[in-house]
């Protein structure tokens, strides 16, 4: 996971490295519960290769938000619009 902020919000990148070595295929994982303390978001959008973007609903959690990503195949990123 890597994350950074820009003028639009926060972007969190996910890389799934599960599977055999060398990595010929990934094993999908999920659901993933992402909790961000001290953070708020109007919209969260999940983007993954060869998939349509999906808007996910953020829920309040411990002074921040929680977003549930249903499944990660090889890679995806979550855009948290502020």
- Average confidence (pLDDT) over 14-24: 77
pLDDT beyond 70 at 12 = yes
- Each residue of 26-64: pLDDT tens digit? 788 999 999 988 777 878 999 999 999 999 999 988 888
**For the whole model, what pTM was predicted?**
0.81
| pLDDT band (50, 70, 90) for residue 81 | confident
pLDDT of residue 23: 67
Phi–psi pair at 5, nearest 5 degrees? -105, 145
**Spatial separation of the C-alpha atoms in residues 63 and 35, rounded to whole Å:** 10
Chain-centre distance for alpha carbon 62: 19
């Amino acid at each position: 996971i890597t994350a950074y902020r820009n003028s639009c919000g926060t972007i969190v990148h996910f890389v799934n490295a599960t599977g055999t070595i060398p990595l010929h295929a990934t094993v999908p994982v999920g659901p993933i519960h992402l909790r961000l303390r001290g953070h708020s978001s109007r919209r969260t959008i999940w983007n993954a290769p060869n998939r349509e973007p999906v808007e996910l609903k953020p829920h309040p959690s411990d002074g921040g938000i929680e977003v549930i990503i249903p499944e990660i195949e090889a890679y995806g990123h979550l855009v948290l619009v502020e």
